[in-house]
Amino acid sequence: MIIIVTGVSGSGKTTIGKMLADSLKWEFQDADNFHSLDNINKMRQGIPLTDAERIPWLETLQLAIKKWLQENKNVVLACSALKVKYREFLVVDQQLVKLVYLQGNFTIISERLHQRQNHFMSAQLLQSQFDIVEEPVDAIKVDIAGSQAEILAKILQQLTVP
């Protein structure tokens, strides 16, 4: 099974994704590690990626998801997947690929991004993410205003894993 932890940059995808993977004793992967160097450099400069620039990244992620499923691996994947069409691309099997959406308001997330260091995603790109985000209807939705432990507990309460 694959659980994709989604949300805008700074919502806690990596932190909560790692905690979720640890609690389930699953593998953790971060979609940021699948970006091309060109995409990373563009985001470092504060330039949002276009859909065309995201396609090769999404294709690589889709192949990885299919491979993990073929190998019967249980993986938690942190991935923004902000638009419906991106999630449709990644959810290759609705029974075996589940979504967790980390919801938060601009102010909280902006504060988090300004505190974060050594990450290519700049705080100035946050508004562009809020501008394009299409909240999923078929996901476990969790408000990020609570503590990390509270967020994880809310996810685990709603999650059904084999």
Decide if 128 is inside a domain.
Answer: yes
How far is Cα 32 from Cα 120, in angstroms, rounded to an integer? 9
Segments forming the whole domain that contains residue 42: 9-71+85-158
Decide if 105 is inside a domain.
Answer: yes
Decide if 107 is inside a domain.
Answer: yes
Decide if 78 is inside a domain.
Answer: no
Number of domains in the chain: 1
Decide if 77 is inside a domain.
Answer: no
Which CATH number does the domain housing residue 126 bear?
Answer: 3.40.50.300
Per-residue pLDDT of the chain (162 residues; tens, 9 = 90+): 999 999 998 899 999 999 999 999 999 999 989 988 888 888 777 777 788 998 999 999 999 999 999 999 999 999 999 999 999 999 999 999 999 999 998 888 877 676 655 544 555 567 778 888 899 999 999 999 989 999 999 999 999 876
Decide if 76 is inside a domain.
Answer: no
The model carries a pTM of 0.88
Residue 135 CA, distance from chain mean position:
12
